[in-house]
Amino acid sequence: MKYPSSWKIREGARPNVVQDIEYSNGKETATVVIITKSLPDSYKPTRKEVEEILSPAALKSSIPDKATFVSGLSTEIEGDPAGILEYTMLSDRAGSSFKMHMFSMTFFQGNTMVQVQFSVGSLLTEANGLNASASEWKPVFQAMMNSIVFPEKWK
């Protein structure tokens, strides 16, 4: 996956988090978190099962309890089923409150479920323009999603 050269990249610090990629200008922060989850070797879902798992309704049911659903979309990445989920949520951490706008794409690569979470967030004191900001960031996130390639698929 490609990302803007001005963004900082670091290895993930949490279980199943492969990478964290971040941009911050002091008022808002945009991040990409790449999460993988290995599935049992015996689990071989059919394309139809994967499409059902990644359907807008199934994705909507996976958002955090206090989140607000914006949209869900069935799509493809490299010809394989994928789902995109968009939602907003409030988050508190270390005494600071943030409003976040999330774009999340989920797909399967072999027996690994991959989720690429894109978010833009602002402190609540700066959050009034977050929806407009999220709209401005969406093309950047879409360009990143469209840069994903599965090299082994083309061998």
pLDDT of residue 122: 65
Please, are residues 124 and 133 in contact by the beta-carbon 8 Å criterion?
A: no
pLDDT of residue 129: 55
- Residue range 2-6: mean pLDDT, rounded: 80
Which listed CATH number (1.10.10.60, 3.40.1000.10, 3.30.750.24, 1.10.357.10) goes with 8-148? 3.40.1000.10
Please, are residues 93 and 29 in contact by the beta-carbon 8 Å criterion?
A: no
CB crowding 59-77: b at 16 or more within 10 Å, else e: bbeebeeebeebebebeeb
Which is more confidently placed, 64 or 26?
Answer: 64
- Residue range 50-68: mean pLDDT, rounded: 93
87 three-class SS = strand
Segment 94-138, tens digit of pLDDT: 776 778 889 999 999 888 899 999 988 765 545 455 566 777 888
Write out the two tokens for 103: 């774009």
Instruction: Please check the confidence at residue 17 and state whether its pLDDT lies above 50.
Output: yes
**What DSSP line would sit under 71-127, residue for residue?**
EEEEEEETTEEEEEEEEEEEEEETTEEEEEEEEEEEEEETTEEEEEEEEEEEEGGGG
Bridge partners of residue 75, in order along the sequence: 82
- All structural domains of the chain with their residue ranges: 8-148
Please, are residues 48 and 66 in contact by the beta-carbon 8 Å criterion?
A: no
Which amino acid, one-letter code, is at 95?
G
Bridge partners of residue 28, in order along the sequence: 122
Which is more confidently placed, 149 or 74?
Answer: 74
